[in-house]
Amino acid sequence: MVRNEIIYDMIYDTYLTAIGLPPDGSKTVYIYTQTIHGTTQSTQTVLRTIQSTQTIHRTTQSTHRTTQSTQTTHRTIQSTQTIH
């Protein structure tokens, strides 16, 4: 088991060096990864909020148009009743 851990550490150190980080930078990589993950989740939350806001806006516009149509119909009915 210890031998496998040494090999793993060597491979990991080589990988870190290949991407331009110091071999002892595993904590830095972890923190960076967690930061990116958190930012991605925040971005997804913002996008979902924008989509919800757009849906609410479309619903509000539709409701407004329906209200206007109802008012027009009501005025038409009143005008018709006044004529008779």
Q: What angle do CA 78, 82, 84 make, to 5 degrees?
A: 120
When pLDDT is cut at 50, 70 and 90, the band that residue 2 belongs to is: confident
Residue 52 lies in a domain: no
What confidence score (pLDDT) does residue 32 get?
Answer: 79
Residue 3 lies in a domain: yes
- Domains held by the chain: number: 1
Residue with the two structure tokens 């027009």: 72
Tell me which residue range forms the domain holding 11.
1-26
From 14, 46, 47, 16, select the one nearest 33 (Cα to Cα).
16
Residue 20 lies in a domain: yes
Residue 69 lies in a domain: no
Pair of tokens at residue 79: 């005008």
Residue 64 lies in a domain: no
For 49-79, write each residue's pLDDT tens digit: 999 999 999 999 999 999 999 999 999 999 8
Is pTM beyond 0.75 here? no
Residue 82 lies in a domain: no
For 11-43, write each residue's pLDDT tens digit: 878 887 787 777 776 677 777 788 888 899 999
